[in-house]
Amino acid sequence: MKENVKTFNLSGMGCSAGVLAVNMAKDLLLVNPDSYALILSTESTTVNANYPGKDRSFMLTNSLFRVGGANLILSNKPQDAVRAKLRLLHSIRTSVAADDEAYGCISVTEDDDGVYGVRLRPSLHTIAPNLTKLGPKVLPLREQLYYAYNWLCIKLLKMKVEAYVPNFKLAFQHFCVHPGGRGVISGIGKSLKLNEYDLEASRMALFRFGNTSTSGVWYEMAYLHAKGRLKVGERVLQIALGSGVKCNTAVWEVVREKYPLESSCWDECLHRYPCDTKKNYTDDFSDPWLSRVTPSIQPTSNDLDTNTI
């Protein structure tokens, strides 16, 4: 790189660092006209990914996390407007580190047998504060009024009514939910009342590539591009969760639908998706190998085939 290139390291920000970098790049471009910003997102596995113990809450690092990478270029040059694919409309960052449950959802500790590893617990506490800030910027006025009226009934009038969840599908046509695990995707989908079509990109990215941390939402964006689902004028919401205490969202508008064909991580396998990930997981991985062996026949070492396992 040239000497006048400014570089910043966002390591330690967890799986939300990719969208966090977009927010940072946006701020830098606001004060540096006629410039480019290059974002490199990747995941580097460490010794904590090889947990040898028996506690299942520690094993997610062994089974979910994979090495991945993505890069993108942001520009504020006027001449790039005619060839840009997406336009960044909003980016929101929130942190709830003061919440004990959220803070403790990822911890480096020992299990009951004294084996060192990373314990993962589900936590979606960061999403509500983030979407509360994002809602007024993107939701139709009617949805905002419904939400405000419901909030007044609950907080001021002390009425026992169910909390109203705004319909974010009125503001977005596509969703890229952080592929942190099946429970994370399903939990966010249930909270936002998303159907399987809305969550397809997230589930396929998790099934095909695993949890690639900071680059996960970009694998999903590449899936939507490869499927030809992004139409001019449509909006995409990216939701990235990091280390349990951070939630970063980015809103993109599609400004170009047809562009020169580029290589994609989905090129060689796109025809196989979407697929039934739940069925494949149950059939191929969830049951121990011995449970599929006839009880009267005990396997020997020569019977163990890696393809079967």
Whole-angstrom distance, CA of residue 37 vs CA of residue 72: 8
CA 216 from centroid of its chain's CA atoms:
5
pLDDT of residue 295: 34
Q: What residues in the chain have per-residue pLDDT under 70?
A: 44-49, 122-124, 244, 259-261, 279-309
Q: Bridge-partner residues for 261, per DSSP?
A: none
Q: What is the predicted pLDDT for the residue at 294?
A: 31
Structural domains of the chain sorted by starting position, each given as residue range(s) with its CATH number in brackets: 14-286 (3.40.47.10)
User: Rounded to an integer, what distance in angstroms lies between the CA atom of residue 135 and that of residue 90?
Assistant: 11
3-state SS string for the chain: CCCCCCCCCCCCCHHHHHHHHHHHHHHHHHHCCCCEEEEEEECCCCHHHCCCCCCHHHCHHHHCECCCEEEEEEECCHHHHHCCCEEEEEEEEEECCCCHHHHCCEEEEECCCCCEEEEECCCCCCHHHHHHHHHHHHCCHHHHHHHHHHHHHHHCCCCCCCCCCCCHHHCCCEEEECCCCHHHHHHHHHHCCCCCCCCHHHHHHHHHHCECHHHHHHHHHHHHHHCCCCCCCCEEEEEEEECCCEEEEEEEEECCCCCCCCCCCCCCCHHHCCCCHHHHHHHHHHCCHHHHCCCCCCCCHHHCCCCCC
Q: Who's near 226: CB < 8 A, 6+ residues apart?
A: 264, 266, 267, 270
Other beta carbons less than 10 A from residue 301's beta carbon = 5
pLDDT in tens, 174-200: 999 998 888 889 989 998 999 999 999
- At 237 the pLDDT is 96
| pTM metric for this prediction | 0.83
Select from 271, 301, 236 the least CA-distant residue to 88.
236
Residue in 218, 222, 221, 181 with CA at minimum distance from that of residue 203: 181
pLDDT of residue 308: 30
Give long-range contacts, CB 8 A cutoff, 24+ apart: 259-262. Answer: 259/83, 259/85
